[in-house]
A and B are shown apart, each in its own frame.
Chain A
C-alpha cells in the first residue's frame, strides 16, 4: 500500500514539475501578453495542483494533509481571480490582443 502511494506521488510530483517547467517556458517564449497568460495558467492549475496532490499523498492522515488541501483550495480560488483581474486591467490599459494588432480576421 505504501509502495503504491509512493509511486503515485512520484508520478504526480514529477508530472507537476514538468507542467510547471513547461508553463514557465511558455511564459518566456510566447509572443504576446495574452498568450503569456495562457502559459501562466498552465503553471497555476496543473503544475501546482499535481505537486500539491503528490504532497497530499505523502502526508498521510493528519494536520499536514488538511493544510495541503487548504493551500490547494486557496490556490484554486485566488489564481483565476488574479488572472481575471489581470486581463481586465490589461484591456482597460489599452493593450490589444495579438490577433487584432496583426490584422488577423479572428471572429
Chain B
C-alpha cells in the first residue's frame, strides 16, 4: 500500500516538475514549486511508514513550515520587487514604515 502511494506521489512530482519547467509565467512556476513542496512532505511521511521508521515525520513537519515560508517570501519579492518595503505604497524607499 505504501509502495503504491509512493509510486503515485513520485509520478505526481514528475508531472508537477514538468509544469515548473514549462510554465510560461513566473507565477506558474511558483505554483508548481509550492505544490511540489507539499508532495515532498507527503512522500517523506509515506516513506517513513514504508520503511517502518515513523521518525521521518519530524522532517516532514519541519519541511511543511519551511515550504510555506519559502513560497510567501518568493511571492513578496515578485510582487513588490523588493523585500525591504512593507507594502506597495512605499516604492524604492527601502526603509519600511
Contacts and interface: CB of A to CB of B under 8 A. Distances in A.
Tell me the dominant secondary structure on chain B's binding face: helix
Interface in A52-71: 52, 54-55, 58-59, 64, 67-68, 70-71
A52 B45 contact: yes
Q: What range describes how many residues of A lie at the interface?
A: 35 or more
A24 B27 contact: no
A89 B78 contact: yes
Most chain B CB within a 10 A radius of its CB, from A27, A37, A83 = A27
Interface of B: 1-2, 4-5, 8-9, 11-13, 15-16, 18-19, 25, 27-28, 30-32, 34-35, 38-39, 41-42, 45-46, 49, 54, 57-58, 60-61, 64-65, 67-68, 71-72, 75-76, 78-79, 88
Interface of A: 9-10, 13-14, 16-18, 20-21, 23-25, 27-28, 33, 36-37, 40, 43-44, 47-48, 51-52, 54-55, 58-59, 64, 67-68, 70-71, 74-75, 78-79, 81-83, 85-86, 88-90, 92-93, 95
